[in-house]
């Protein structure tokens, strides 16, 4: 059975949760992307959202390398992906590589929260994309050192993650196993397994 984009969005939408903003409920990580380009104005809004994420000492340790399909930045990021991720990410019109400064600029001391903060900025980026009718899929399946060498990223920066970004595509373009995952309902652990008062003792909510 085939599904159109609107039907897939309904399948992947989280159950209604009173008070939780719509972008969180609607966000999911597709592997099927349309070849339709992402508008420059939308990308600007997406990165503005990331820019305003919170960070330790307002360090803003994140850096983002932005690749559009067909340019050299995209190709370098794509070449660093493991074969499995290349198999589906090739449909995404945008690939983004994040990095995080290991040290605070004001005193050069280690910033142990740089990756945490870069993840927060990426979450803002993804939620803004969702608000614009786009989707993103971040992945760890890539060769960090290959990406570092391709862009000359200094050792003073952690390599973060690669994020594919674009408009949702047709799940039928995916291999059978991935198509099933694309159409499966989203699931999450209950709050009692992740919110504690004491270790492994659920907090009262």
Query: What average pLDDT does the segment 176-204 reach?
Result: 95
Tens of pLDDT, residue by residue over 83-130, are 999 999 999 999 999 999 999 999 999 999 999 999 999 999 999 999
pTM for this model (two decimals): 0.96
In whole angstroms, how far apart are CA 66 and each of 92, 114, 124?
13, 19, 16
Q: Quickly list H helices, the chain.
A: 5-12, 22-26, 40-51, 72-80, 83-89, 114-131, 144-151, 176-182
Band (23; pLDDT cuts 50, 70, 90): very high
Higher pLDDT, 163 or 4: 163
Distance CA 157, CA 50 (A): 18
Contact 60, 49 (CB under 8 A): no
Average pLDDT of the segment spanning 160-173: 96
- The CATH class of 5-202 is alpha beta
In degrees and rounded to multiples of 5, residue 104 shows phi and psi of -70, 140
Residue spans of the domains in the chain: they are: 5-202
Residue given tokens 């990406």 in the structure block: 147
Question: Would you call 63 exposed, middle or buried from its count of C-beta atoms within 10 A (0-12, 13-18, 19+)?
Answer: middle
Beta partners for residue 95, in sequence order? 67, 164
């Amino acid at each position: 059975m085939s599904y159109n984009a609107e039907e897939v969005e309904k399948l992947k939408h989280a159950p209604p949760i009173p008070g939780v903003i719509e972008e969180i409920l609607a966000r999911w990580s597709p592997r099927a992307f349309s070849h339709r380009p992402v508008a420059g104005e939308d990308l600007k809004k997406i990165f503005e959202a990331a820019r305003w994420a919170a960070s330790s000492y307002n360090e803003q340790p994140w850096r983002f390398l932005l690749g559009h399909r067909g340019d050299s930045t995209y190709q370098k990021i794509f070449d660093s992906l493991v074969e499995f991720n290349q198999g589906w990410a090739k449909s995404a019109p945008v690939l983004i590589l994040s990095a995080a400064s290991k040290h605070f600029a004001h005193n050069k001391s280690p910033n142990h929260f740089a990756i945490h903060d870069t993840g927060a900025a990426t979450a803002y980026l993804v939620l803004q994309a969702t608000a614009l009718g786009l989707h993103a899929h971040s992945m760890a399946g890539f060769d960090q050192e290959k990406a570092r060498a391709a862009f000359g990223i200094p050792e003073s920066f952690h390599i973060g993650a690669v994020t594919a970004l674009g408009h949702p595509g047709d799940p039928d373009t995916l291999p059978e196993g991935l198509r099933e995952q694309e159409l499966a309902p989203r699931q999450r652990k209950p709050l009692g397994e992740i919110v504690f008062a004491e270790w492994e003792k659920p907090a009262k909510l």
